[in-house]
């Protein structure tokens, strides 16, 4: 009878220890999932922000390309009869630069 009572106590303690360990494991898994979800949300926000920046930079590139095309039509350096000279003329270059 004494042996059986001792074994029962051991079983109860083992069950309790196992229950606590399982609780701890579930809590750890939940915390890990929460952390991953937060990281996901941050990455989604960063992705949205980067896409917005790509859009702005693409628009800026289109604008600058148009400006360059317009400038090329009137650029004295491109229309100079000596446009193969390796050293650009300072006066011609100055007229191309924004004031």
Residue 86 makes CB contacts below 8 A (sequence gap 6+) with none
Domain ranges of the chain: 1-77
Reported as a single tens digit per residue, the pLDDT across 37-53 is: 999 999 999 999 999 99
Residue pair 43/62 in contact by the 8 Å Cβ criterion: no
From CA 28, how far away is CA 31, in angstroms rounded? 5
Residue pair 71/96 in contact by the 8 Å Cβ criterion: yes
Query: What's the pLDDT score for residue 72?
Result: 93
pTM reported for the whole predicted model: 0.58
């Amino acid at each position: 009878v004494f042996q059986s009572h001792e074994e029962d106590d051991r079983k109860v303690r083992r069950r309790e220890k196992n229950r606590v360990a399982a609780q701890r494991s579930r809590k750890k898994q939940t915390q890990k999932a929460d952390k991953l979800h937060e990281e996901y949300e941050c990455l989604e926000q960063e992705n949205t922000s980067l896409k917005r920046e790509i859009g702005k930079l693409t628009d800026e590139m289109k604008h600058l390309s148009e400006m360059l095309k317009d400038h090329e039509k009137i650029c004295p350096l491109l229309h100079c009869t000596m446009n193969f000279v390796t050293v650009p003329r300072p006066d011609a270059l100055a007229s191309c630069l924004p004031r």
